[in-house]
Structure 1
Amino acid sequence: MIRKILVFTLPVLLLSTVVFAQEQKILQDSMQYYFNKGNFVTAIFWAEKNVAALKQKVAVTDTSYIAAMNNLGESYFSNGNYKEAKTTFKEVITIIKNKEGEKSAAYAMQLDNLGNVAEKLAEWADAENYFLSAVKIQKEISGEDNVAYANYITSLAVLYRLQSKYTEAESLYLKAGAIFKNTEGEESADYLTFKNNLAGLYYATGKLALAEKTFIETAAIKRKVFGAESFDYGHTLSNLGVVYYVLGNFLAAETVFDKAISIFEKTTGDKNPQYALTEGLLASTYQQLLEYSRAEKLIRHQMSVNEITVGKNSAEYATSLNNLAFLYIKSGKDSATEMMLKESLETRRKLFGTNNTDYAITLNNLALYYTRKKSFTVADSLYKEALSVRKNISGETNQDYINLISNQCELYLLTKNYAAASKAALKNLAVEEFLLLNKLDFLTESQLIAHVKNNETPFSMPYSSLAHYNLPDLLKAAYNNRLLINGIAIQNTSVLSKEMLQSKDSITVNLWKNYKSNKSLLNKTLTQPVTARVINSDSLADVTIQQEKDLMHQSESFRNIKEKFNITWQDVRNNLAPAEAAIEFIRFKEIGNDFNYNFYYAAMVLRPKDSVPVFIKLFEESALKAALKSFAYKEPIVTRSGKPINKIPSTKNTTSGVYHLIWQPLEPYLSNVTTVYFAPDGLLHNIAFAAIPGKNGSVLCDTYSLIQVTSTRQVAIKDTYQKPPASIALFGGIDYNKQSADTAGIVKPYQYSYVYQQSRSSAPDSFVYLPGTLKEVAGIKKNMDLQKKNVSFYIGDKATEAAFRSLDGEASPEVIHFATHGFTIPDTATKKNIGSVFKISDNPLLRSGLVLAGGNKGWKGRSPAGEDDGILTALEITAASLPNTQLAVLSACETGTGELRGSEGVFGLQRAFKIAGVNYIMASLWQVPDKETAEFMHIFYSNRLAGKSTRQAFLTTQQFMRKKYPPYYWAAFTLVQ
């Protein structure tokens, strides 16, 4: 990833002619200036003039001439002119050999230079001989504790790394690093180069956590030492971008590559190999973001630069050909794709041989091309060869190997070789889970989500295979996979929060407090339009991400997080009672004969006596969308949403289509089952399972006790929260037009209020007072007071955001209850680009929230200075720590809805409270009626205080309301663990 480049300082010229000496100094200084800036084209110009001038005045054996030639060679090398560099260095080493012999430091230095060139030209044997000779000579001259020796073993280490000799490379890197540190210090150019090289080795061996950490550290020091627009700083940024790309964090990769390219453009211009390399990396990122036209433009420019600087027979040009061909495959073009891939493959074979990573990449792409052309036999042969090369180079536990297996699995599915597809999918799962578990302790929440999302195709392979072929081992592994990835980012974040709150280390505690403060400030800043922000949200986001990573590294117990995820399908099965079943619903994509992907749904059913889970393919997503159009429970009456009042919905059995799609295929496996734990996926998150019509006018909750969970792993986790709650915070009867300044004297206005004043533009609607909410919370308070429970009561103008924040940390009660207006704005609203930030934001956690005291002013952007806006968004809730809170009741409209994001589920209020540490969340799927909702809550708390568990109290309440009202009035509420 990084080359070791030596920059030579020219000696002071001692010439008889003063004028000539001055001219030479100008030439020398000009060359050195542009070389240090990374502008190698201009450096070559001045170096050539310097050599030409000296050749007329001094002998070729003169020290000044040798130095000038050496610098010319270095300039050629740095600009990618490797053949010219080779010729120049050979001339220099001949002069030195004749002048000083083969045992001099100068001769060793030229051997190193020639080794660098030979390596770039893929002349591996020559390169190794040059480096070994340089190391031997330098050791004989001055031992091992010197910079020159460290440089030469670094060059050898780079060569070994390129040849996949990772153990030998790491040993040499560490040895060189120790020398640089002892002789020059940790801010020296040589030591920083060592850090870059070591990070590159970590990357090559799959140690992405160490690679990212080392690159970030190196970039920070280089920025400090060399400046924010230095070539060296840009180089490290480019390397860091590669790590982000491999992690699937493409937006972060795009930002870093953009910054690096901007630096190179200023320092070297756009005709430099490093510029071209980073340009290609950015193009690959655009390709992942489906911005094909931008990607093609960059790759074509990269090709032209490589053709000019290093020629068509170079590794760089072969990479450009490979990338352009792959882009054409992905975007559906067929413009000389096969020819480009074959040319790239042949060039890479000549340069590196067949046991090489780049060679395997082109094999994969050529196989992909033949798959699209339905030349399946040829494609299969190429995939097998590519897998063999990959396995030989870096084993089977790496992302590239997974991607190859995934492609091969798709080939087998297309050719209906389902047995082979299932075996490939099984291997795929094993490697993917291994890698994911090794990333848990260093990926932030957003990075973890990105990783799972960008591996959607590999994760779908097992289910595509199981839809056609019942392989027991694959069934077991697939169920375990669901237990691992469902809500994995929520789990990770919640575990980190709990670990930090329990920490006794003062440094960790202070870092945690600082992180929480910055995250809270960031969340508030994001509610402003970009043009009105007084704080740079991107910079603040970078700070919080790094602080989150520092916290992960700080906590020893968090580093052992893998143990907390070690729950298997057998654990779930063994914790099921005789009349219970667990169901994991899966949304997966499957490739069709037209090579387009369609989404399907399936279910994996598990019962107490099952020796293996049962897999049932259900329906295509388009069928579910059609069935949901007749879903009855949509139109509101007097609701808690602030939306217009409409007619009462029809209560006729208009959702039978949903029953036939989702539940009827499962019934043969549930004949003796009365309790079902189920984890929905995709659009199933938006369905009230309890109200799905069954036979003879019944609904599902008449037959089953339905318990919704984020993942059925919850079955294996004992529910210790059985006693009636000892403390509760109640929000209701809220005055949406004003808020109290002191909130009962226990909280203060938010310290960052000034940041987001006037951040919400005027809106035509407002929120009306809900009398039922006051009755609801007052009734709950009365029951809690009778049992001498600890009650925090926030009504009227005291039900503020500040009051909610006062519940943070150890002050969090066992239950938090909100009876108010709620909102969830669909992502379609963002495309209109109108209204306030939370309406148009691409962050779904800003488009959902609860309305508290003074919310009407905040909704219209009229909150007074120093006052909260009264809109408690889901994003703000994620900054809270609620370690003691077992239940959050969101007695408002659509609080269980939001944007659906794969295995992470619903991005909205429900997720926000999960991240904050809450165990159970009761939320609504549609616009709930005010009066009947108050009744529902009264019955639920009566059951809870009577000794029923949270689950039992909820199910009992459902049964009571079912007898009294149609489903619209009670079925919206779901209890999710």
Structure 2
Amino acid sequence: MIVSGQNNQGDKYYLKAEKYYNIIEPTSQTDSLALKNYLNAIKDYLRVQKGYPRLVDAFFKSGTLYQSINDQRKAINSYLQSIKHSQKVKNSPDSGLFKNYLYAGNAYYILSNFDSAKYYFDQAEKISLNTRNISSLDRLYNSLGALYYESGNYLQSENYFEKAISIINSQKSIDKDALVYLSNNLASAFRKLGHYNKALKLYKDLLPYEIGLASLKQNIGHTYLRMGKNDSALMYLSQVRSEIDPVSRIRLFNDFANAYFNKKEYQQAGLYFNRALKENITFFGLGKNVDRSSTHLGKSSIQEQQGNYRKALEELQLAIINLTLSFEDKNIYTNPPVANNAISVLELYHTLIRKAAVFRKLGSETKEFKDLEMALKTYQLALGLADYIRKSYDSDEAKLFFGNDLHEIFEQAINTAFDLYDRDKSNFYLETAFTLSEMSKGAVLYESIRNLEIKNVPGVPTHLIEQEKRIKQKITLLMLKLSESQDTKNGLDLRNQIRDFEIELGRVQKQFEKNETYYHLKYNSNTVSRKDLQSYLKNANTAAISYFMGSTELFTFFLSPDGFSASRQPIDNAFIKDLYSFKNELYELPAGSKYNGYAPSFRLFQKLVYPFIRSISSYKKLLIIPDGELNYIPFEALNSTPKFDKFILHDYAIAYAYSFSFLGIKSLKTNNTQDRILAMAPFTDRSINSNIGFLYLPASGEEIKDINGDRYYGKDAQKKLFLKIASNYNIIHLATHAKTDVNDPLNAFISFYPYSQNKQSDFKLFTSEIYNMRLNNLKLVILSACETGNGKLVNGEGIMSLARAFAYAGCPNIISTLWNANDESSSKISILLHKYLKEGYSAEEALRKAKLTYLNDPEIESRFRTPNYWANFIFVGEIQESSNDNLLTYVSLFFMTLLLIVILYWGVRKKKVQFKAQLKQGTVII
């Protein structure tokens, strides 16, 4: 019950308004009368200048009525006035503020002012977390889901939509209208994630409700459009009735136009784009909006297809103008500043990419330098915007999903930079290409590792760090339970719990960004200058080769302490064939079969390394930054000559890195005398139960027996012990079984002693669990198990492997395996590795010497000397100076000095003898 405002005239207006407002089936006339009387009541209440509950309520309800006629700005003003006056009312309930914040956020969302929408939704969410039994929670979660949807974070939007649906389903009387509306939104999130069949099923399952049929059929048509099924799209779009709201009608015309465009019926497409534009102007006037931008984007596509690149760019410029609030320049050679307020950052990013691509086509046609340069500048602006978008996401999964499509854009930008170099011969463009290549790699992993460091900055609340850790642990535990659950109902409950914790985790991670130092460090660029890189290489006495593998061309960048060069060469079928032939010989060669990888290996060497052979000849260490399928290739196994027994391994110690950005990210100097080493070999017991799928590894015990540290064998090498003590060590060696999963990297695991056959999570250490460990003290982890460096390849991030999980957890140096390891050869190489580490060699040099010693061992049969037996071990991390290297240097200097003295001595003595002889002969000339 609303308490009286104690103002007779105002109350009369208010009560009359309530009568019209609460009609079960309102009309536009009754809504108009309700609004008129609320406004009169407000006017009368304000005259008294007191805080009345009815004044607060009148402002709120007038706001809802303004929204019903799509006057969002007046609605916002009403909600803000309601919030302002509620503060004057004693004991005013937070539930009233909650709805005002929520509805104000919705109004800003409709106006595409997403920053303001986010602020008010966040305020509403704060109240909801501190208030019990609050209504409209489903609407809040749906609104937050829509906001994540607009930003491109479709994974998190899916969580929020599902949460809203669960609230509706938990009510005694289910609101079918709300259920259909929310499910429609969820299906749209599926569509954006590329799960088209899943989206179509959900859309079509909602049709029998006969609620919102126009929206459902339009979304079905749009989904078929995204699938390239244009006739099916047109069939459903044609069923949408014309009496839909103006915004839906604009989008419908755009969809029709795009369907006809895909069918190459450009005249018909143009007619529909013009209808969309006319409808937009009728409804929005000259106001900017995303849908008008989409229409201009579509019109540009028609011009582009017809070869009218300048006209296409003019339409694209109009699309950009309609996406930015304070940018009006129609000159196609100008771009909006990054700081400009974008109506939709995501749409602006996509439009800039299109503009860059068309400028590239124009440059190829006109041969004008300025056209290509504009293409490059626009790519750079778009990729900077993409970096901003990605960093705004609150989960690595969302960042990886967004980043997966960026690789193609980086390829186009790098190609453009090389095109400019070909015309101008300025190294500036090669360095630009190099910077773009580095920007494309390992951004998510780099950011995650930095987060471990920067959360220690002053001012970041420790309770947030603990809360984040707790939530991540709960998510991991629930995921493990879900993987073992056979009960459908229990599985659904576990998924719901995971969803709720992922939403909570997103909230906590937003709190970190309130610390200014943390925010600055988190969003600081991960690119490093060439000068700094060359300084690093000089200190490490190393040369480096970085690759970017495009769809049709391979870009290679060479760096040494005093040199830089870059090249572009086509990727032909022969190269791809050699790449896969070599990989198959290493990864899939059956036991006892002859190794035939020498020839493709040598051809790959000629393409990948030989162009820089003179430049790297004076170095003994080589840093490789791979890309794409090259991540699966051990470069040390490439044949450097046609001879079968000569590999790169013979000349260089090789280290790999995700990108140059990772170099120097932590202090990595080692002091071997103080290192604590943990070694575990769980499968040394002959009585191991083979029914669980893991065999006895007789050589695994041998490979750790001489390690000077804490060693655990068989039943003592348990997962729970490892999780408890791992963070106390500097070096970890695991000689065990492991399994990768190229479809779902989170299902990959390392196995410990299987004391429980029923509960696999008791002995399998899954990737998700490693991610949540804190291994900042670790200097080196050695994963002597099958495929620990293998997994799903993700563009720009490399291989999603167990090794990467250890890097994510804070370990800077990792020795892992790319394919199934042979037990005996792995054992021998591991034993030698620790021997050389103990002697003071750096990890990459110790691994090299271990492999060379293995190859030179006369007791090793020739059939076990092929690369498939020894090249699976690779080192990823920092190239370091060996303490042994220093000793060798001093010894070498001593003997060189001694040799020089001897040479000088004998040279002087010989000259004296000659001088005396010449004196006797009288032939000395003075």
Could you say whether these structures have the same fold, taking a TM-score greater than 0.5 normalized by the shorter chain as the test?
yes
> Hey, what's the Cα distance between the residues in 2 that align with 1:719 and 1:877?
22
Q: Secondary structure at the match of 2:711?
A: strand
Partner of 2:484: 528
Aligned partner of 2:706: which letter? G
Shift of 1:729: 0.8
> What's the counterpart of residue 357 of structure 2?
410
Segment of structure 1 superposing worse, 730-739 or 522-531: 730-739
- Structure 1 pair 820–453 and aligned structure 2 pair: CA distance change class (3 A): same
Q: Deviations over 1:876-896 (max 9, x none)?
A: 322322221111101122211
The equivalent residue for 1:884 is 777
Q: Deviations over 1:766-812 (max 9, x none)?
A: 332222111110022xxx2xxxxxx2211011111112112254x3x
Alignment-derived partner of residue 508 in structure 2: 550
Matched, 1:300 2:217: yes
Structure 1 CA distance for aligned equivalents of residues 768 and 441 of structure 2: 21
Distance in 1 of aligned mates of 2:713 and 2:508: 40
Whole-angstrom CA distance in 2 between matches of 1:508 and 1:423: 45
Instruction: Give the alignment partner of residue 814 of structure 1, picking from 721, 730, 743.
Output: 730
Residue 583 of structure 1 is matched in structure 2 by 545
Structure 1 distance, partners of 2:410, 2:83, is: 40
Distance 2:13 2:465 in 1: 64
Superposed counterparts of 1:19-98, under 5 Å: 68-71=19-22, 76=26, 85=28, 87-88=29-30
Aligned in 2, Cα 1:636/1:374: closer, same or farther, shift over 3 Å?
closer
Alignment match of 1:969 (pick from 862, 869, 886)? 869
CA distance in 1, matches of 2:753, 2:408: 45
Does the CA-based 8 Å contact 1:585-1:604 persist in structure 2?
A: yes
Match of 1:289? Answer: 194
Q: Which amino acid aligns with 2:251?
A: T
Instruction: Give the gaps of 5 or more residues in structure 2.
Output: 6-11, 205-214, 222-235, 328-335, 339-344, 858-864, 878-926
Does the aligned pair in 2 maintain the 1:299–1:323 contact within 8 Å? no
Shift of 1:388: 2.6
- Looking at structure 1, the residues matched to 194 and 262 of structure 2 have their Cα atoms a distance apart, in angstroms, of 12
State whether structure 2 residue 529 is matched by structure 1 residue 569: yes
Amino acid at match of 2:838: L
Displacement, 1:574?
Answer: 3.5
What TM-score does the superposition give when structure 2 sets the normalisation length? Answer: 0.74
Provide the residue aligned with 2:846 in structure 1: 953
1:367 maps onto 2:314 in alignment: no
CA distance in 1, matches of 2:721, 2:835: 26
Contact 1:679 1:711 in 2 (8 A): yes
CA–CA distance in 1 between the matches of 2:519 and 2:100? 29
Secondary structure in 2 matching 1:797: helix
Report how far residue 452 of structure 1 moved. Answer: 1.9
TM-score under structure 1 length normalisation: 0.70
Give the Cα–Cα distance (whole angstroms) in 2 for the partners of residues 474 and 153 of structure 1: 59
Judged with a 3 Å threshold, the aligned counterparts in structure 2 of structure 1 residues 440 and 368 are, in CA distance, closer, same or farther, namely: same
Q: Aligned residue for 1:710?
A: 658
- Hey, what does 2:800 align to over in structure 1? 907
Cross-structure match for 1:732 = 681
Q: 1:70 to 1:852 in 2, by over 3 A?
A: closer
The CA distance in 1 between the partners of 2:256 and 2:615, in whole Å, is 50
CA contact (8 A) 1:573 1:607 kept: yes
- Output the CA distance in 2 between the equivalents of 1:884 and 1:385: 54
* Amino acid aligned to 1:584: S
Matched position secondary structure for 2:243: coil
SS in 2 for 1:604: strand
Match of 2:910 in 1: none
The residue aligned with 1:317 is 249
Alpha-carbon distance between aligned partners in 1 of 2:182 and 2:427, rounded to the nearest angstrom: 46
**Counterpart of 1:745?**
none
Contact 1:818 1:889 in 2 (8 A): yes
Change in Cα spacing, 1:552 to 1:480, as seen in structure 2 (3 Å) is farther
How many residues align? The count is 796
Alignment of 1:154-169 (within 5 A): none
- Alignment of 1:942 onto 2:844: no
Matched-pair contact (CA < 8 Å) for 1:890–1:923: yes
Structure 1 distance, partners of 2:132, 2:568, is: 56
Q: Which one is further off, 897-906 or 672-681? A: 672-681
Paired letter, 2:641: K
Residues 561 and 629 of structure 1, relative CA distance in 2, 3 Å threshold: same
1:353 matched residue in structure 2:
285
Q: 1:875 aligns with which of 768, 776, 795?
A: 768
TM alignment of 1:760-799, pairs within 5 A? 766-780=693-707, 784=708, 791-799=709-717
Q: Which residue of 2 aligns with 1:100?
A: none
User: Following TM superposition, by how much is the alpha carbon of 1:701 offset from its aligned partner in structure 2, in angstroms?
Assistant: 3.1
Q: For residue 446 of structure 1, what is the aligned residue in structure 2? A: 397
2:883 corresponds in structure 1 to none
1:250 corresponds to: 154
1:441/1:561 contact within 8 Å kept = no
Q: Is the 8 A contact 1:730 1:818 kept in 2?
A: yes
Instruction: State the one-letter code of the partner of 1:465.
Output: T
Partner of 1:900, secondary structure, is strand
Partner of residue 804, structure 1: 722
Residue in 1 that maps onto 2:745: 844
SS in 1 for 2:419: coil
Given residue 233 of structure 1, which amino acid in structure 2 is its aligned partner? Answer: L
8 A contact 1:675–1:704 mirrored in 2: yes
Give the whole-Å Cα distance in 1 for the aligned partners of 2:247 and 2:138.
Answer: 22
What residue in structure 1 maps to residue 913 of structure 2? none
CA distance in 1, matches of 2:656, 2:829: 18
| CA RMSD, Structure 1 to Structure 2 (Å) | 4.7
Q: Does 1:649 align with 2:595?
A: yes
The residue identity in structure 2 corresponding to 1:824 is T
Tell me if 1:628 matches 2:628: no
If asked which structure has higher relative contact order (CA below 8 Å, sep 6+), I would say 1
Partners of 1:292 and 1:331 within 8 A in 2 = no
Letter in 2 for 1:629: S
Give me the whole-angstrom Cα distance separating, in 1, the residues matched to 2:718 and 2:776. Answer: 21
In structure 2, the partner of 1:491 is: 446
Query: Aligned in 2, Cα 1:933/1:457: closer, same or farther, shift over 3 Å?
Result: closer
Residue 630 of structure 1 deviates from its aligned partner by 4.3
Q: Is the 8 A contact 1:723 1:949 kept in 2?
A: no
Asked if the contact 1:584–1:604 (Cα under 8 Å) also holds between the matched residues in 2, the reply is yes
Q: 1:793 to 1:709 in 2, by over 3 A?
A: same
Contact 1:849 1:909 in 2 (8 A): yes
Equivalent-residue separation in structure 2 for 1:706 and 1:502 (angstroms): 35
Q: CA offset at residue 212 of structure 1? A: 7.4
1:518 to 474, 491, 514: 474
Whether the 8 Å contact between 2:814 and 2:876 is mirrored in structure 1 is: yes
Distance 1:954 1:405, change over 3 A: same
Aligned to 1:540: 498
Contact residue 895 and residue 909 of structure 1 kept, 8 A: yes
Helix, strand or coil at the partner of 1:188? helix
Q: 1:233 aligns with which of 131, 137, 143?
A: 137
Report the secondary structure of 2:353's partner residue.
helix
Q: Secondary structure at the match of 2:404?
A: helix
Letter in 2 for 1:531: D
Provide the residue aligned with 2:209 in structure 1. Answer: none
- CA distance in 1 between counterparts of 2:88 and 2:3 reads 22
| Equivalent residue, structure 1, for 2:623 | 677
Distance in 1, Cα, partners of 2:774 & 2:584: 38
